[in-house]
Amino acid sequence: MIILKSADEIAAMRRAGAIVAECHARLAEWVKPGVTTQQLNDMVADLIARRGGTPSFLGYRGYPAAICTSVNEEVVHGIPGPRRLEEGDIVGIDIGVILDGFHGDAAYTYPVGQVDAETRRLLQVAEEALYIGIAQAKPGQRLSDISHAIQWHVEAAGFSVVRQFVGHGIGRSMHEDPQVPNFGPPGRGVRLRPGMTLAIEPMVNAGTHEVRVLEDGWTVVTADGANSAHFEHTVALTEDGADILTTLD
């Protein structure tokens, strides 16, 4: 069941999203060669706590950390730990925050120092795909119009979109209906309406779209070992289109 949100509920989600956005703004400074993924987790967890929020991910189905840190061929759900980031790595960092009973959720993939040209292109295309998908999130469109726009942009650039993991509705629960795939034909699925709140999140692989889950039960990696990039925003649908809730005003 899709839960439409009131103006007050969307405002609450925006407040949660602002904490997520602040964390990502700080991570742009914190991500650098030599830092461990655990250190990044701890700094983000501290900032969330100081802003009065709670990490959405910590304890969710047993997940052991406040954020997800996915390095290079890791697609999503990488667990922070002692790994030190190295020059030329990329790291996708996914952050969820609960504030006053509502969630905000956003991800960004950061270059660590200087990365090669093809990796820069992967990051650019994946981030562009996010905003191209968001541009389709407006009343009157079908849900799969978002999916198709993302897939078309990614594949036109020679990359692939992950099929096994998708975006989702969000609100009082971190995962609500509907699922938001990053692939598929246009013109299908539910018709988009004001009050819908979605987490749109392209996961873009440099090689095959196939993935597998490591023995830790969480970390998703590309099947061929190629790099992957992940970008995400939480948006609310209004009469005028998508309003991004995970940005700083």
Closest CA to 54 of 167, 168, 174, 170: 174
Mean pLDDT by 10 residues, the chain (249 residues): 98 98 98 98 98 98 98 98 98 98 98 98 98 97 98 98 98 98 98 98 98 98 98 98 94
CB–CB of 89/227 below 8 Å?
no
What CATH number is given to the structural domain containing 167? 3.90.230.10
Provide the 3-class DSSP secondary structure of residue 131: helix
Please report, for residues 14, 15, 48, 93, 159, the alpha-carbon distance to residue 248 in angstroms, rounded to integers and kept in the order given. 9, 10, 15, 17, 30
Two tokens at 113? 């120092």
C-alpha–C-alpha distance, residues 53 and 31, integer Å = 22
Provide CB contacts within 8 A for 173, sequence distance 6+: 103
Task: Please report the pLDDT score of residue 249 as a whole number.
Answer: 75
In-domain check, residue 1 = no
Task: Please report the pLDDT score of residue 96 as a whole number.
Answer: 98
Count: domains in the chain: 1
Closest CA to 108 of 167, 28, 165: 28
Provide the 3-class DSSP secondary structure of residue 113: coil
In-domain check, residue 249 = no
Residue 120 domain boundaries:
7-244
In-domain check, residue 138 = yes
In-domain check, residue 2 = no
Preceding omega of 55 cis (within 30 degrees of 0): no
Task: Please report the pLDDT score of residue 14 as a whole number.
Answer: 98
